[in-house]
Structure 1
Amino acid sequence: MSIVTLTMNPAIDIATTAGHVAPTDKTRCTTPRFDPGGGGINVARTIAALEEPVTAIFPAGGPPGRLLEQLVRDAAIPMRPIPVSGHTRESFAVTAADTGAQYRFVLPGPRLTAPEVHRCLAEVERAAQECRYVVASGSLPPGVPVTFYQSLADLLKDLGVPLVLDTSGAALRAVRRGVHLIKPSVRELADYAGRPLPDDESRIAAARELVEQGVSEIVVVSMGPDGTLAVTRDDAHWIASIEVPVRSGIGAGDAQVSGIVVGLARGYPLDAAVRLGIAAATAALVTPGTGPGRPDRIAELFHQLTARPDGGRGQLAVPL
């Protein structure tokens, strides 16, 4: 296997539409779409769409857990589910047809026991013997120590396997060393830094602090329509986004992680890997639910970015 993904808080993502959303009134919805969800599973779906070998590891429990496994199986993604006693969570998104606004409801997930958490780490350790990258993405469910991702980073560092991490809040703040690449949003990076980051200069400085402190070798800061910053110890650059009409924003960040890690696994330079990530995220924006973008569309968008005179790499407003 080339890439392993870990989703500690997976979900069944339910997406539907309604003519109008208002308090108190019953909201009549269209036939729902069911997708396997949670950060790492979303990442795995786009990696698979890009035809890179991937295996998804995740805890699953109760009838929703069995449905999740079936949805992952239907997506033709090899998996290693870890049985847990709690019920896998569900997430619900409703798009109002009259305004285009999307309302997203996210449940906390089951409480995992210490032995269940240990089994998740042990499964990653087994799978990591045969992979090039591990991607851990998403929140931590109740019962999982906030230091879990640091424990994972230490484990993979000892095995010599690079960790790509996409998380937020306390789970991100608890990471202090040993990650290969972290992909925060501007808001998540500001939360980690403990201060506002209003411009390129402040964002680069905050990202470089993570690099210099040994938290991560690479920090990729996603800024939505404002593009993406990629920062290492010796370099920092900005790559423009591509403007498209948005059908669903769910999973676009996960798709960006997918494109980046696929690019790295294929030996692309960081610039090119980030462009592939932007292409994958852009393709996901025009896809319903949390479905991955079409491979041909991702390839078209990647070519579009690469064909720009500057290769999609823009000039930064600050000196490096």
Structure 2
Amino acid sequence: MTGGIVTLTMNPAVDVSAVTDMVVPTDKLRCRDPHRDPGGGGINVARVIRRFGGTCRAIYPAGGITGRLLQDLLQRQGIENTAIDIAAGTRESFSVTEARSGAQYRFVLAGEALGPAEWQACIDAVAAHASPHHYVVASGSLPPGVPDDFHARLGKALADREVRLVVDSSGPALDGALRHGVYLAKPNLQELRGLTGAPLERRSDWEDAAGELVLAGRAEIIVLTLGEEGAFLVTRDLRIRADAVPVKAVSAVGAGDSFLAVMVWRLASGDGLEAAFRHAVAAGSAALLTPGTDLCHRADTERLAEQVRTERIAFN
């Protein structure tokens, strides 16, 4: 590999998934096939990279019984990890699939607050493990107590290390990261609308808004994920559209994390942007094929990558 990968997950979770026959109010819903996975944006990225044969270190805060379970789950999956001890317990999330309809219901608990010493320890841990030419992937929401400019603080701590900071977040946390400037950001359309304050109703509006973020120096690369509309990548010199691969979705959990993981893994392995982008689109579609809180698989991703169609777009 040409660069190592470190992920940071500030609001991790133990993800619990199960199946029930039918979701109805009041009655006890007897669930079967329970499964637990380590979860949260950066942790999911690390899981995919490890599954694809890459190496990655996952850094995250963890506390209480659930935090110990999270560490155990990561170790069972062979993921190198560093847990930052915190006073509060790690959260859980729960998803249940209704067998009759195939519909999936997702319940996400809020994370507990972190104190200044705790979130600063997370920044320090990343700085300690990130070497020149590493990719640092900060992905997921920020829990209470963590400042909106957290990613900017992280970027400043890494400024002299020649690392590539990748951010996948939303709201003020994403805005704060882009105000500092990052290597790559992966907003979806809703998040891009929030950043710009504009309705962005047409495709050309989406693409121009993403391009303006790059021209303003807020990111070297913007990858806009658009669900069934595919995805769009823009740099100062390149604009690429990609169509989504139509698949029958089993679960939507982890599609964005799978996309980002494969994008970064392929870049760190030496791929060019267009090849990495094409495989990332395939990974996002491949994640839809897996049940519960599972993520994309390499065989599905490589098969679907052959079906991804990309198109270079001329600058206006």
Instruction: Give TM-score, length-normalised by structure 1.
Output: 0.94
Measure, in 2, the Cα distance between the counterparts of 1:65 and 1:112: 14
Q: Secondary structure at the match of 1:30?
A: strand
Query: Which amino acid is the alignment partner of residue 185 of structure 1?
Result: N
2:276 pairs with one of 253, 270, 273: 273
Structure 1 unaligned blocks of 5 or more: 306-311
1:188-230 Cα deviation digits (max 9, x unpaired): 1111111112222111111112112211111000001111000
Query: Which residue is equivalent to 2:26?
Result: 24
Helix, strand or coil at the partner of 1:12: strand
Q: Equivalents in 1 of 2:98, 2:196: separation in Å?
A: 36
Contact 1:284–1:290 under 8 Å retained in 2: no
Name the CA distance, whole Å, in 1 between partners of 2:53 and 2:33: 30
Q: Distance in 1 between matches of 2:33 and 2:51?
A: 25
Q: Displacement, 1:319?
A: 5.7
Partner of 1:65: 67
1:74-93 paired onto structure 2 within 5 Å: 74-93=76-95
Any idea what the Cα deviations from partners look like across 1:69-112, whole Å, max 9, x if unmatched?
Answer: 01101111000111111000000111112222211111111211
Counterpart secondary structure, 1:244 = coil
1:260 is matched with: 263
3-state SS in 2 of match to 1:165: strand
In 2, Cα distance between equivalents of 1:111 and 1:131? 32
The one of 178, 184, 190 equivalent to 2:187 is 184
Is the 8 Å Cα contact of residues 58 and 81 (structure 1) preserved in structure 2?
yes
Q: 2:208 aligns with which of 194, 205, 210?
A: 205
Cα distance in 2, alignment partners of residues 314 and 234 from structure 1: 14
Q: Distance in 1 between matches of 2:76 and 2:148?
A: 32
Distance in structure 1 (CA, Å) of the matches to 2:96 and 2:123: 34
2:106 alignment partner in structure 1: 104
Q: Distance in 2 between matches of 1:81 and 1:92?
A: 22
Check the 8 A contact 1:91/1:105 in 2, yes or no. yes
Deviation at 1:114, TM superposition (A): 0.7
Deviates more, 1:84-93 or 1:228-237: 228-237
Contact 2:96 2:292 in 1 (8 A): no
Write out aligned runs for 1:145-184 (5 A).
145-175=147-177, 176-184=179-187
- CA deviation after TM superposition for structure 1 residue 129, in Å: 2.3
- AA of the residue aligned to 1:64: T
Q: Is the 8 A contact 1:246 1:285 kept in 2?
A: yes
Q: Which amino acid aligns with 2:310?
A: R
Mean CA deviation greater in 262-271 or 18-27: 18-27
Question: One-letter code of the match for 2:166?
Answer: V
CA RMSD of aligned residues (A): 1.6
Matches of 1:85 and 1:65, distance apart in 2 = 10
| Matching residue of 2:311 | 314
CA contact (8 A) 1:157 1:178 kept: no
Tell me how far apart the structure 1 counterparts of residues 229 and 307 of structure 2 sit (CA, whole Å). Answer: 17
Shift of residue 281, structure 1, vs aligned partner: 1.6
Contact 1:149-1:171 at 8 Å conserved across structures: yes
Question: For the Cα contact (< 8 Å) 1:154–1:178, is it kept in 2?
Answer: no
**Letter in structure 2 aligned against 1:195:** A
Distance 1:138 1:211 in 2: 22
Q: What whole-Å deviation, never above 9, does each CA across 1:140-166 have from its counterpart, x for those lacking one?
A: 011111110111122223321001110
* One-letter amino acid of the counterpart of residue 311, structure 2: G
Q: CA deviation at 1:28?
A: 1.9
How far the C-alpha of 1:130 sits from its partner, in A, is: 6.2
Per the alignment, residue 35 of structure 2 pairs with 33
Aligned residue for 1:136?
A: 138
Correspondent of 2:286 among 283, 286, 303: 283
The answer to whether structure 1 residue 45 and structure 2 residue 42 are counterparts is no
Aligned length: 313
Q: Alignment partner for residue 245 of structure 2, among 221, 225, 242?
A: 242
* Alignment equivalent of 1:229, drawn from 232, 243, 246: 232
Whether contact under 8 Å (1:16, 1:30) holds in the other structure is: yes
Contact kept, 8 Å, 2:286 with 2:296, in 1: the verdict is: yes
- Give the whole-Å Cα distance in 1 for the aligned partners of 2:187 and 2:44: 16
Gaps of 5+ in 2: none
Counterpart CA distance in 1 for 2:225 and 2:169 is 13
Q: Which AA in structure 1 matches 2:17?
A: A
Partner of 2:184, secondary structure, is: strand
Matches within 5 A, 1:292-311: 292-305=295-308
**TM-score normalised to the size of structure 2?**
0.95
